[in-house]
Structure 1
């Protein structure tokens, strides 16, 4: 069995949407090759949700 790759987001730049309000109720997104990560703007140290890029793009396409 091959161990799962855990992408490194330690140097990634997280961004919020331009539609974000200043009340802190948003998520931030960062990209590294092959993966996206999401985190809570109010709790940046609380961890990340890492998603393979292909799955995240499918998710976004489903929202449209």
Structure 2
């Protein structure tokens, strides 16, 4: 099982490098998110379904 400690973090290809980025990692049973400036800081996790719903809402302009 992939854990946060062993996660492979990435930023969106749309990231412009201004330091206001969110990094994402796909785990075995969840999606993890963190602030790219605070890599040792808190990590938020979501189910895959929750992540898909969030991204869909962003794409549709609902958020």
TM-score by length of 2: 0.80
In the TM superposition, 1:18-37 aligns within 5 A as: 18-37=13-32
Gaps of 5+ in 2: none
Provide the rounded CA distance (Å) in 2 between the counterparts of 1:44 and 1:8: 15
Structure with greater Cα Rg: 1
Residue 53 of structure 1: how far off its partner (Å): 1.0
Where in structure 1 are there 5+ consecutive unaligned residues? Answer: 1-6
Partner of 2:5: 10
- CA distance in 1: counterparts of 2:18 and 2:54, whole angstroms: 25
- TM-score, with length taken from structure 1: 0.79
Q: In the aligned structure 1, how far is the partner of 2:53 from the partner of 2:29? A: 14
Query: Is the CA contact (8 Å cut-off) linking 2:23 and 2:35 kept in structure 1?
Result: yes
User: Is 1:49–2:47 an aligned residue pair?
Assistant: no
Root mean square deviation of aligned Cα: 1.4
- The runs of at least 4 consecutive aligned structure 1 residues that moved more than 2 Å come to none
